[in-house]
Amino acid sequence: MSRGAILLDRDGTLIVERHYLSDPASVELETGAIEGLHKLTEAGWPLVVLTNQSGIGRGYFDRNAVDAVNTAVQEKLSLNGIFIAGWYVCPHEPEDGCACRKPLPGLALEAAEMLEIDLGASWMIGDKLSDVGLAQAIGARGILVQTGHTTFQDEGPARASGAWIASNLDEAADLILSEKPV
């Protein structure tokens, strides 16, 4: 039986934005990430990361570097009892025309199939309009967090798409948990 999940952007949402991050030693969790993810985990929500990593396609680093960064993130989360059920990476440049680069639904569809997720009962949290655009594309609810790349100009279009605005993952968790039980 499928159920909803919390779909998370990585850079600027889960971890502090570092331009084309490839060094696991530079991983720093965003303010409110531990608190918010702990609340969602305690409430029974599975957590899934969907991340665009065009640095692979641009030749800045390889998939092993991305996996090493993801492992470093998971290690920091694990120290707080938080587990990511799946990591899904788009390695393409924006110009490649792939189906997996957010806001297109490829990564979410792959996660839904692999993890038996009901996308319509899910939430997508990210710091870019492409993240809330993905939420709209898959019938999920979207939350734009004001960390990472978010600008004041993004908030109007995000709200127009039906997304909510939160200062960070902790506030996003509070919004989700006040909305409805899993």
Q: Which residues are catalytic?
A: 9, 11
Peptide bond connecting 46 to the previous residue in cis, omega within 30 degrees of 0: no
- Give yes or no for a contact between 47 and 8, defined as CB atoms under 8 angstroms apart: yes
